[in-house]
């Protein structure tokens, strides 16, 4: 196991924390499920970890828009000493920490302004709106990984992963932000057709996202959000075409490792390299991340 330590957030309607922790562990990290109230109370600290991960679920029932209430809780919650938790969170990234948000976690990061954060002021620049189909999409999709955005998923070009969301359509605030995203390397994953070519067409693009975006990465390369669930595909047996994949595998024409597991192995390798290069100080174990 690597020395990468991951905090997997729990509480307030998050419901994929155990699967997410298992995925990080399968990828080689040391993952621990921690209730967000422990962070707010100061009994646990982001400074103990290299990665802060917000899994999927239905935080606060998505009553005011998916992820909106939890994003407000993370932004405005005060710690016992009076400082904002959000200051700890941005300080964590500034100190070289990594953040992953999947599905509801991605919605939270977008509404916190952590993604894409082109202006550097943590203002919301994009949103995740209701799917164009008007229904909750629960199925598998194909994804094309951008070769220009290798920070997290180096070496992965084509992925198949499940989606489970009702509000996954990435909508960009204005044309300037749209242009920056289109021309930059901040879209690590795009919805793709059967040939793994990015597409706007339904059902291959399940929600109608601008720029076919299935995820975003920030300019530091340390914050990643995505709608598909890599933690739900750690074993080939879970794929809906498992039998066909087994036949192709016997003919030497298919991967022997599930795409989700490859994804987490790539993440852990990337983060471990960053830790080794001194991009992130060793977790201190202190309850005060500013200590």
Tell me the catalytic residues. Answer: 103, 229, 231
Phi-psi region for residue 65, left (φ > 0), alpha (ψ -120 to 50) or beta?
left
Q: Are the beta carbons of 186 and 149 closer than 8 angstroms?
A: yes
For residue 203, cis peptide bond before it (omega within 30 degrees of 0): yes
Classify strands 30-35 and 189-192 as parallel, antiparallel or unpaired: unpaired
CB neighbour list of residue 198: distance below 8 Å, 6 or more residues apart: 144, 190, 191, 192, 212
DSSP string, 254-291: S-SS-HHHHHHHHHHHHHHHHHHTTSSPPP---S-TT-
Three-state SS string over 188-210 comes to CEEEECCCCCECCCCCCCCCCCH
Q: Are the beta carbons of 98 and 223 closer than 8 angstroms?
A: yes
Six-digit token string for 162: 């499940």
- 84 DSSP 8-state letter: B
* HSE of 107, CA atoms in CB hemisphere, 13 A: 28
């Amino acid at each position: 196991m690597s020395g990468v330590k991951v905090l997997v957030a729990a509480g307030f309607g998050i419901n994929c924390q155990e699967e997410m922790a298992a995925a990080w562990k399968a990828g080689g990290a040391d993952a621990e499920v921690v209730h967000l109230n422990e962070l707010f109370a100061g009994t646990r600290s982001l400074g103990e970890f290299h990665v802060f991960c917000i899994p999927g679920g239905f935080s606060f029932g998505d009553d005011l828009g998916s992820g909106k209430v939890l994003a407000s809780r993370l932004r405005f919650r005060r710690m016992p000493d009076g400082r904002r938790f959000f200051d700890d969170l941005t300080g964590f990234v500034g100190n070289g920490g990594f953040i992953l948000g999947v599905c509801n976690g991605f919605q939270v990061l977008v509404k916190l302004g952590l993604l894409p954060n082109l202006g550097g002021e943590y203002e919301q620049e994009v949103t995740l709106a209701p799917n164009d189909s008007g229904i909750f999409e629960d199925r598998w999709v194909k994804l094309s990984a951008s070769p220009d955005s290798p920070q997290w998923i180096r070496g992965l070009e084509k992925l198949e992963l499940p989606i489970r969301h009702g509000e996954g359509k990435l909508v960009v605030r204005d044309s300037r932000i749209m242009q920056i995203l289109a021309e930059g390397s901040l879209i690590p994953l795009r919805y793709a057709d059967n040939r793994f070519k990015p597409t706007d067409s339904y059902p291959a693009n399940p929600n109608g996202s601008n720029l076919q975006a299935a995820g975003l990465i920030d300019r530091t390369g340390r914050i990643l959000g995505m709608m598909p669930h890599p933690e739900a595909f750690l074993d080939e047996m879970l794929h809906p075409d498992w039998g066909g994949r087994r036949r192709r595998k016997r003919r030497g024409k298919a991967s022997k490792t599930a795409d989700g597991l490859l994804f987490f192995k790539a993440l852990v390798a990337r983060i471990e390299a960053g830790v080794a290069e001194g991009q992130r100080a060793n977790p201190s174990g202190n309850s005060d991340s500013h200590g």
